[in-house]
Amino acid sequence: MRKHALIFPGQGAQRPGMGKEFFDTYKSAHSVFEEADDALGFSIKDIIFNGTPEELAKTTITQPAILTVSIAALKALEEELGTELSPACVAGHSLGEYTSLVATGMISLADGVRLLHLRGALMQQAVPIGTGAMAAIVGMEPCEVNEICVKAAQGEVCKEANINSPNQIVISGHCTAIARAVELIEAIGNIRVVPLRVSAPFHCELMRCVADKLKVAFAEIKWKTPKCPIVVNVSAKAMTSIDDIKDALFKQTFSPVMWYQSVLKMETFDTEGYIELGPGSVLSGLVRKITNTKKPYHVSGVEELLLAASFLKGETK
């Protein structure tokens, strides 16, 4: 099987009906949805398959839902191939990092969905609605964005939250500070700014209280050494130590997601391609912007799964 890296999407990739093809087609994927329902104590699959976009967008639902669909995609792909995948490394974007824990055997699926259900609830409670905001900036270098954030903060929080590619950066913080940053950027001209529809300002200092509570939850579950290195969001380092990964997860809650740097790190593993497992293809698009040496495959449906399987078996380029 071709040497590969697995990548897992974060919030924003969700859509009603995601993963239904896997549920209907592969027994292993069907089991993933059932196990997630049992662990959460309610039917998340019913919300995923039959709920409204608004219901699915609630962060307490979105986070465990995306993990469930991503792991269902992984199990479906393994069932199609007839063997477990052995990636050279894995990485996930924000909540996708929790998916990587499940995918590498660090924690159980049940613990994964429960952790993300808790994470979503804590994030929503941490900052009153209307207090925080996030915005995506396309066309500025990271150092330029940092300078803007420093000017706009004025005693409030205004920081880089996601470094997605060399010229795509998301900022997060108090809504008034983000508004000042957007005004400064728009005054420059020729730069695209997209306010994000989010329920809380993720990956900034306003989320530190969430990290403290998650740390308590980490101590209550069983951890195992991952079967391959996890390239973590907070430092873009490849880690296998349980303590190091738990610390990285703690810091990730209130620190920037260094996705651009994480892809560069995964490039050092000399893989032949990337497999994005779960809804959407955002990460595959970012990989294409960061490196044009390897083709990413996104697996959000059965047809895409078969293409990825052919690639892994060496049948296609």
Q: What is the pLDDT of residues 103-113, one digit of tens each?
A: 999 999 999 99
| Spatial CB neighbours of 242, under 8 Å, sequence gap ≥ 6 | 106, 223, 224, 225
* pTM of this structure: 0.95
Q: In this structure, are strands 132-138 and 192-195 parallel, antiparallel, or unpaired?
A: antiparallel
DSSP-derived letter for residue 207 is G
Report pLDDT digits (tens) over 95-147: 999 999 999 999 999 999 999 999 999 998 998 878 999 999 999 999 999 99
Q: In this structure, are strands 192-195 and 273-277 parallel, antiparallel, or unpaired?
A: unpaired
Beta bridge partners of 134: 172
Structure tokens at 215: 């740390």
Alpha helices (H) in the chain, listed in sequence order? 20-25, 27-40, 44-50, 53-57, 59-81, 96-103, 109-126, 142-153, 175-188, 208-218, 242-252, 259-267, 282-290, 302-312
Are the C-beta atoms of residues 163 and 261 closer than 8 Å to each other? yes
Q: In 3D, which of 86, 97, 77, 74 has the Cα closest to residue 255?
A: 97
CB atoms within 10 A of CB 52: 9
Q: Please list the active-site residues.
A: 94, 203
Report pLDDT digits (tens) over 11-41: 889 999 999 999 999 999 999 999 999 999 9
Ordered domains of the chain (ranges, CATH):
4-126+206-312 (3.40.366.10), 132-198 (3.30.70.250)
